[in-house]
Structure 1
Amino acid sequence: MKGFFKYLLATIVGLLVTMILLFLIFMGIIGTAISKSEKAVEVKENSLLVMKFNNTIEDRGSKNPFQGFDYLSMKPTTSLGLNDILKAVKNATEDPNILGIYLENENIPAGLATIEEIRNALIKFKESGKFIVSYSNNYGHKNYYLSSVSNSIYINPQGSMQWTGLSSSVMFFKNALEKLGVEMQIIRHGKFKSAVEPFMLDKMSPENREQIATYVGSIWNHWLKEISVARNISVDELNLMANNLKIRNAQSAYENGMVDSLVYKDQVIDRLKELTNTKPEKDINSVSIDQYIKVPAPRKHKGLAKDKIAVVYALGSIIDGDSGESDIAGDRYGRIIREARRDSSIKAIVLRVNSGGGSALASEIILREMTLAKAVKPVIVSMGDVAASGGYYIAASADAIVANPTTITGSIGVLGMIPNVKEGMNKKLGINIDVVNTNKYADILSVYRPMTAEEKAYMLQGIEDIYSVFIGHVANGRGMTTQQVDDIGQGRVWSGINAMQIKLIDEFGGLERAIELAAEKAGLENYRITELPKQKDPFEILMESFSGSVKAQLFKDELGMSYKYYDNLLKLAGTRGIIARIPYEIEVY
């Protein structure tokens, strides 16, 4: 028996030592890979900046070593932020070693407003006298719109191009929920507040169809106008090509003036060698956008500027509480804005919003701090791909709101959604729930039974109260009456173009324009940017959130572009009570 315990103890100790050694080896491999990726980048003379977007472009680049890490090759993939890309293109404009930009993309994993901001940055680059060349085997709407700014657009002779107009679809779950025995009990304010439609209908309501047609149509018309200018093709002709399916392949794209030449990759390289003064037998000096973002920007002033503009990135769903690195937690962001207000070195605040909304209470907490900050320093809002419902709520009191023409905004409305799983539990799983209450409404909003008429009236009153507060905030912030806000509210979604017409925003532009406006209002010429929330050191993240980050990344790798639907379902499943949220995950393609 003594020998048995001896061998058992030795086995346990051996396993523990092995696990520790494997963990340390794994950490060492990751640490080495990460440190290699952060090496200084040298840009040679007559270089070409190569822009290929293979990973999802967020508003802000991440320092998280697990975000985008390839566990099969044990190599990190750079997580590009829009902020990084805009800085890189701006630096390249002034960098004498960069002669031009080469775009090669077939699918750009980014929202419409994000693409708009990158495109505007490329226009400024081109106006500096430098060239842009684009090449692709296949052009879709998004990558063609971005590429349309190029001096030359090339396509593989056997490639393809989609030019059919924009489409937006909505997925409905009503019948699936009925089969599962789940009833979604819905209370809402506004005929356009269609966040709940996928749970109660099997097709779009007329109001929802109207609002989608309005904002998608305005985005399409904006694209047509911009492409018309860039390619010298009339808007009518561009629409005619889409309506008659005139663009079938690379040859028809060339014949209709959408591209400049049909060439293979080697021929593009030969052309780029000519533009960069590279000898035929030599390789082109090039640097990828992933590497170039690490090149420091040239300083325009001596020393470190004392005055700062804080850029606060509010990205994701608006949630209650203080936790949630990937969401907008009300208490956390309220504290961040409050600290920026009290910091005397911060002369202005830019709130970058990319959110479809969420908790009404959390939105109110953030708005309160925005209002207090506005009283002592300029506060500007920059809207990204989506700044709607709660995302608009937190922006309402700003001194100015800057958005792109293709930003999705509005959705000024409130809803409540309580699932009733009684039938599913009883008939599908054979589970019954019984309760004992001390008072009549002790189990109010229970998910195990239908709501009573009194409970529905109680919840509706709460929604009406919050909606009144919501439109009141918008009216105060935008210099409108509550009736005027209600007329354009009711949960209706608008594009940036529509929003400008109804005075929900002040001007078109991206993050850089918002920062310029903040500097103007603060009277600043020499300043630096401080980005908030502060990001943790990569190795701190590595040790703190190893298991959670790996789990999330594995799901992302497996689900790919569909991960966002899984993530949204998880967030909706965990939502109870009153929320201010955009109708659905909007994707135009």
Structure 2
Amino acid sequence: MKQFFLTVLGVFTGLVLFVVVVPIVLITMAAASSSGPDVPRNAVLELDLRAGLSDQPPASPFALFGGGGLSVMQVVDTLSQAEDDANVKVLLIRLPETGMTPAAADEVRQAIRRFRASGKPVIAHSQGFLPAGAVMSSYMVGASASELWMQNTASFQATGFSAEEIFLGRAFEKYGVEPEFEQRYEYKNAVNIYTQNDFTGPHREAMLAWMGSIYDTSVAQAAQDRKIAPAALKASIEAGPWTAEEALERNLIDKVGHVEEAEDEALRRAGRGSRIIPFDEYSSAMGPDNGSGRDVIAVIGGEGAIITGSGGNADPFGGGSSIHSDVMAEAIYDAIKDKDVQAIVLRVSSPGGSPEASEQIAAAVRAAKAAGKPVVVSMGTYAASGGYWISAEADHIVAQPSTLTGSIGVFGGKMVLRDALARFGVDVRGLSVGGDYADAYAISDEFTPSQREAFAGSMDRIYGDFITLVARGRDLTPARVGEIAKGRVWTGAQALELGLVDELGGMNEAIAKAKELAGIDADASVRIKRFPEQQSPFEALANAFGVSGEAARALILIGGAVEDPQAQAVMRRIEADRMRREGAVVLADRPLG
């Protein structure tokens, strides 16, 4: 009876999704692709950065229902198209009051400067710069505009860069939680929040170094755009905070006024009959800029933690993202097989993850090089630890000055909760069969000496593999890599000096280098082919419920009933996976075709 009701519920849910959600999405997508943006002859393009930016647009067609905002790549692509759109006359930017992700700010600043170079004005408006996060990165973006406005009641409190860590060491000790970790080496500081009550010497040294690098980069680039000596700008900033009027007197901003006044000025500059167009509307209608020409470059993107698998149970309506090793590796192999693709640009924005997943992707990069297709990495916000693992063997690495990279190291371990749970009358007891290592990860007991030795040995092996891979990829000696590794994070600017990256810049510079390595003329137009392709609505819905979910199965069965080939292909995969879990064995899934 329970199964009957689950099936009925699944069918009902599938019907609702199939009849309501899918048509809405398909109609929306069709409408966006069939008609261009409703852009007036004199348009003001408004870019609102207050909601934050992801690095890359989502792969799911349903992401728009999850409330996701713009991505850095979307901003870069759209501004590139707006440069050449005769209808777009002015760019208006709404700045966040707190910090922006530094590397994202670098990339957005570069896109704004290219837009301005086309002869079109840019007006940025701020309702204040508050001392939270990397606020100097937000100011740097504002400084790249033709005019920087501030609201009259706002405060200019961008006086530096601060960061805090919450250390749980004393609390864990008090409540009986025992962290059992190994780290390679002293700069691999992720475990310190569990084991310490303050910054260790190496932790403090590393954080101050990369924070100082990001701060100095922001000041230098803002000074360049404001045409002020860096030392003078730094002195003015650090003497604050200032009122809007005081910031104007010190040439930190250009005008004081409300956002409505800035909008009126932008409309006046755009000309008679002008209108403000929201950035997301313009971007959605224009679509990604894939270029044109005979020569093809593949662009493969990955954002988030690196994990094994294909992401079959990912939420298509959510805003989170991960790099699934099966997906990214397959995308690289697809680009290798594509006879039109002459080079690959790998966009990486990841703080790391699984060594096994990272190596799977790195192997695909090696395969591309062996096939004669150059690989250029463009680093986003992060390309650290596992993110650097998948990047290190590329032919060329481009990073933003504020990208966080390196972190060549490894850590792992467990929490022993026996004493902590016992305080609440909870007892943990375990059983195991097999070898001594079978219960190594049990939360009831510490590592035994032999388990600790074996676990430490695995950490040493992974760290050694990482060192070898970086030495091979970057043409450095293992000894030299060992000196700059130890788990330490570097900014892109620092990594350039150390030989961990080759060039500072963003996607534009990466594509230019890919053209060079592929022997394509620098002035030739190239066509961008993106891998992997966006999921179909059927695939996204199947993933939403898990490949064995009754609702997804019912939905795909309905699609099969109307003889939709994509629906039938997904159904075959779902049924095969269900059979595996229920004890049946099949030789192979039929391809999706």
TM over 0.5: yes
SS at the partner of 1:362? helix
Residue 532 of structure 2 aligns with which residue? Answer: 533
- The Cα offsets for residues 376-396 of structure 1, whole Å up to 9 and x where unpaired, read as 210111100000011101111
User: Do 1:58 and 1:110's aligned partners in 2 also have CA atoms closer than 8 Å?
Assistant: no
Of the candidates 287, 303, 306, which is equivalent to residue 318 of structure 1? 306
User: Do 1:317 and 1:355's aligned partners in 2 also have CA atoms closer than 8 Å?
Assistant: yes
SS at the partner of 2:455? helix
What runs of 5+ residues in structure 2 fail to find an aligned partner?
315-320, 548-593
Residue 484 of structure 2 aligns with which residue? Answer: 488
Q: After superposition, where does 1:71-82 map in structure 2 within 5 Å? A: 77=67, 79-82=69-72
1:434/1:227 Cα in 2 relative to 1: closer, same or farther (>3 Å)?
Answer: closer
- The Cα offsets for residues 331-389 of structure 1, whole Å up to 9 and x where unpaired, read as 33323222222222221111111111111122122112211211221011110000001
1:174/1:67 Cα in 2 relative to 1: closer, same or farther (>3 Å)?
Answer: farther
How far, CA to CA, are the matches of 1:193 and 1:437 in structure 2?
A: 34
User: Do 1:174 and 1:200's aligned partners in 2 also have CA atoms closer than 8 Å?
Assistant: yes
Residue 182 of structure 2 aligns with which residue? Answer: 187
Q: After superposition, where does 1:108-123 map in structure 2 within 5 Å? A: 110-123=100-113
How far, CA to CA, are the matches of 2:365 and 2:8 in structure 1?
A: 57
Residue 408 of structure 2 aligns with which residue? Answer: 412
Deviating more after overlay: 380-389 vs 22-31: 22-31
Of the candidates 505, 510, 523, which is equivalent to residue 509 of structure 1? 505
User: Do 1:62 and 1:79's aligned partners in 2 also have CA atoms closer than 8 Å?
Assistant: no
Deviating more after overlay: 265-274 vs 489-498: 265-274
**Are 2:448 and 1:452 aligned?**
yes
User: Do 1:357 and 1:391's aligned partners in 2 also have CA atoms closer than 8 Å?
Assistant: yes
Q: After superposition, where does 1:148-167 map in structure 2 within 5 Å? A: 148-167=143-162
Of the candidates 255, 266, 278, which is equivalent to residue 288 of structure 1? 278
How far, CA to CA, are the matches of 1:351 and 1:13 in structure 2?
A: 43
1:446/1:13 Cα in 2 relative to 1: closer, same or farther (>3 Å)?
Answer: closer
Of the candidates 197, 212, 215, which is equivalent to residue 207 of structure 2? 212
How far, CA to CA, are the matches of 1:24 and 1:458 in structure 2?
A: 52
Deviating more after overlay: 402-411 vs 304-313: 304-313
Q: Which amino acid aligns with 1:92?
A: A
How far, CA to CA, are the matches of 1:509 and 1:339 in structure 2?
A: 27
Equivalenced residue count is 525
1:309/1:427 Cα in 2 relative to 1: closer, same or farther (>3 Å)?
Answer: same
Question: Displacement of 1:315 after TM fit?
Answer: 1.3
How far, CA to CA, are the matches of 1:442 and 1:449 in structure 2?
A: 13
- The Cα offsets for residues 526-551 of structure 1, whole Å up to 9 and x where unpaired, read as 43112222221346424641699xxx
Residue 49 of structure 1 aligns with which residue? Answer: 45
Q: After superposition, where does 1:297-376 map in structure 2 within 5 Å? A: 305-323=293-311, 326-375=321-370, 376=372
1:533/1:111 Cα in 2 relative to 1: closer, same or farther (>3 Å)?
Answer: farther
Deviating more after overlay: 324-333 vs 251-260: 324-333
How far, CA to CA, are the matches of 2:288 and 2:356 in structure 1?
A: 43
How far, CA to CA, are the matches of 2:373 and 2:27 in structure 1?
A: 43
Residue 117 of structure 2 aligns with which residue? Answer: 127
**Are 2:261 and 1:267 aligned?**
yes
User: Do 2:310 and 2:325's aligned partners in 1 also have CA atoms closer than 8 Å?
Assistant: yes
**Are 2:243 and 1:253 aligned?**
no
1:270/1:299 Cα in 2 relative to 1: closer, same or farther (>3 Å)?
Answer: closer
What runs of 5+ residues in structure 1 fail to find an aligned partner?
1-10, 71-76, 549-589
Residue 433 of structure 1 aligns with which residue? Answer: 429
SS at the partner of 1:428? coil
How far, CA to CA, are the matches of 2:338 and 2:262 in structure 1?
A: 52
Q: Which amino acid aligns with 2:439?
A: D
User: Do 1:67 and 1:79's aligned partners in 2 also have CA atoms closer than 8 Å?
Assistant: no
Residue 419 of structure 2 aligns with which residue? Answer: 423
Deviating more after overlay: 420-429 vs 114-123: 420-429
SS at the partner of 1:117? helix
Residue 570 of structure 1 aligns with which residue? Answer: none
User: Do 1:86 and 1:118's aligned partners in 2 also have CA atoms closer than 8 Å?
Assistant: yes
Question: Displacement of 1:253 after TM fit?
Answer: 0.8
Question: Displacement of 1:498 after TM fit?
Answer: 0.6
**Are 2:15 and 1:27 aligned?**
no
- The Cα offsets for residues 136-181 of structure 1, whole Å up to 9 and x where unpaired, read as 2223523321110111111111122222101122222223434553
Question: Displacement of 1:272 after TM fit?
Answer: 2.3
How far, CA to CA, are the matches of 1:300 and 1:164 in structure 2?
A: 40
1:180/1:317 Cα in 2 relative to 1: closer, same or farther (>3 Å)?
Answer: farther
- The Cα offsets for residues 399-449 of structure 1, whole Å up to 9 and x where unpaired, read as 000000000011111112122222234333422314253444432332321
SS at the partner of 1:158? coil
1:32/1:295 Cα in 2 relative to 1: closer, same or farther (>3 Å)?
Answer: closer
TM-score (norm 1): 0.82
1:27/1:218 Cα in 2 relative to 1: closer, same or farther (>3 Å)?
Answer: same
How far, CA to CA, are the matches of 1:499 and 1:16 in structure 2?
A: 52
**Are 2:470 and 1:474 aligned?**
yes
Residue 231 of structure 1 aligns with which residue? Answer: 226
1:539/1:41 Cα in 2 relative to 1: closer, same or farther (>3 Å)?
Answer: farther
TM-score (norm 2): 0.81
1:131/1:315 Cα in 2 relative to 1: closer, same or farther (>3 Å)?
Answer: same
Residue 56 of structure 2 aligns with which residue? Answer: 60
1:458/1:150 Cα in 2 relative to 1: closer, same or farther (>3 Å)?
Answer: same
User: Do 1:78 and 1:290's aligned partners in 2 also have CA atoms closer than 8 Å?
Assistant: no
- The Cα offsets for residues 242-287 of structure 1, whole Å up to 9 and x where unpaired, read as 3332x32111111111111212334323322331223xxx6x3232
Percent same amino acid at aligned positions?
30
Deviating more after overlay: 349-358 vs 429-438: 429-438
How far, CA to CA, are the matches of 1:490 and 1:83 in structure 2?
A: 32
User: Do 2:182 and 2:412's aligned partners in 1 also have CA atoms closer than 8 Å?
Assistant: yes
User: Do 1:65 and 1:542's aligned partners in 2 also have CA atoms closer than 8 Å?
Assistant: no
User: Do 2:398 and 2:510's aligned partners in 1 also have CA atoms closer than 8 Å?
Assistant: yes
Question: Displacement of 1:60 after TM fit?
Answer: 1.8
How far, CA to CA, are the matches of 1:509 and 1:105 in structure 2?
A: 22
